[in-house]
Amino acid sequence: MLLRPVFLLGLLALSGCASNTIVPNYQNSNPNLQVGGEQPPGSAPTVENAGSFCVQVSEVWHSEGKTPDGQKLWSKDTLRKVVPCL
């Protein structure tokens, strides 16, 4: 007789856990990360004057995998290269 109440208590505990599904929140304020959609466009290379030398800066987006529900994760790389000042 003790088995039946224990079984019902276990069943209630399992059903309670199954109803607490966490809904993902993909709101993001980071400009270097994007969730979902197509690959964002990169920017054209720019040249910054750093005093005695110049730096060419370019941005490239690439896929970093997927979310649990299958949306692509995009991250931005910022590439810097020393170039002669014109």
Q: What is the mean pLDDT of each run of 10 residues along the chain (86 residues)?
A: 59 57 74 87 90 92 87 92 89
Instruction: Give the closest residue to 40 by CA, choosing from 75, 83, 86, 70.
Output: 75
Residue 75: which H helix or E strand, with range?
strand 72-83
State how far the Cα of 57 lies from the Cα of 76, in Å rounded to an integer: 13
To the question of pTM greater than 0.75 for the whole model, the response is: no
Structure confidence at residue 30 (pLDDT): 83
d(CA 64, CA 34): 10
